[in-house]
Amino acid sequence: MPYRRLPPGTRHLLALASAAALAAPAAPAHAETCTSTEREALPEALPMRDFAIRLGARIDACATEARRPDAERFCAEHRIECSAARVRDFVRVRTLFEMTRDGGPFRLRWSITDRDPTARHIWAAWRQKPPLASSDAPSATAECDELSALFAGLARRLDVRGVGLFWPTSNHTIAAWDVTPAVRVLVPTSQIFLACDATFDRTTFLPSKQRVVYELRATDVPDAVPVPRALATFLLDQIAHYAGASLDVLAMLRMHRALRFDSSLPAACGADAVAAAKSLRARPLSPPDRRALMRYGSTELGLAAPSVEETLERLAR
Q: Given this model, what pLDDT does residue 219 score? A: 84
Note whether 243 and 59 are within 8 A (CB): yes
Amino acid identity, position 119: A
Q: Given this model, what pLDDT does residue 4 score? A: 34
Q: Consecutive 10-residue runs of the chain (317 residues): their mean pLDDT?
A: 36 32 37 64 93 96 97 97 97 98 98 96 97 96 98 97 96 97 97 97 96 90 95 96 97 97 95 96 95 96 92 94
Q: Given this model, what pLDDT does residue 19 score? A: 33
Phi first, then psi: give them for residue 169, nearest 5 degrees: -140, 170
